[in-house]
Amino acid sequence: MAAAQGRLSDGAGEMDDAKDGREGRDADADARNTVPVAFRAAVDALKTARVRPQVEIEQVPPPKRLAPFAYALEAAVVDGEQDLADGRLVLLHDPAGHDAWQGTFRLVTLVRAELEPEMAADPLLPDVCWSWLTGALKARGLTYGEPSGTVTRASSHHFGGLSARPPASQIEIRASWTPREGRAGAPDTAAHLASWCDLLAQVAGLPPAGPGDASVVTLPQRRGPNSR
């Protein structure tokens, strides 16, 4: 799924290797040129997002069959040696549009966290978790369409050799939405990523960051977009 595929040497000799090298570089350039401008802009915007230092983010290989172009990030909310929550955010782009999306871009997410027993027992927990997602988007003034998703609550009880372990509960949010496109046809992905990190922090139990919080930092520069 890399935007620029590396060449494979056939080992046929130095002249052939040099020729293959030129052709490989030409293929790399052609592949980069096929990435839509709007998708490049959306990926570049992700790199400007400002997130809390407790949220550790890295680029990961995106899924291959959901859209012609995709870019994926994984994140974890870390407190010392403990991961309080984790998740994945995938940016999808289909220049031809998608009927189910009602647009050319789609954001898809998975968020997971361990729960305290009293919280896990709350019958309103799924509704509250979904409101955390929509509230995080609303708090940053983002407009979006076609939201869908599920909130799953799971409990684990241990027996036999594991019976000493206390029961554990986990919440899982799977969701997707269509970000509204702005300049050059690209959505404000930096704001959507920041909202998603707000959701991660809330699920992890962190207090909200105040306006102008100096602890909020910009993501480091990462590799370019991936295409199928």
This prediction has a pTM of 0.74
Count the alpha carbons within 13 Å of 183 in the hemisphere toward its beta carbon.
Answer: 3
- Residue 93, judged by CB atoms within 10 A of its CB (0-12, 13-18, 19+), counts as buried
Q: pLDDT of 12-30, one tens digit each? A: 233 233 334 444 444 444 4
Residue 26: count other Cβ atoms within 10 Å of its Cβ.
Answer: 11
The SS3 assignment for 228 reads: coil
Angle (deg, nearest 10), helices 125-139 and 189-204: 140
Q: What is the pLDDT of residues 56-71, one digit of tens each?
A: 999 999 998 899 999 9
pLDDT tens digits, one per residue of 166-205: 777 888 999 999 999 987 789 999 999 999 999 999 999 8
87 has which bridge partners? 75, 111
Closest to 206 (Cα-Cα) out of 99, 105, 84, 95: 84
What are residue 195's phi and psi, to 5 degrees?
A: -65, -40
Mean pLDDT score of the chain, rounded to an integer?
Answer: 77
Please, are residues 225 and 1 in contact by the beta-carbon 8 Å criterion? no
How far apart (Å, rounded) are the C-alpha atoms in residues 81 and 199?
Answer: 21
Q: Are 35 and 101 in contact (CB under 8 A)?
A: no
Q: Where are the domains of the chain?
A: 1-34, 41-227
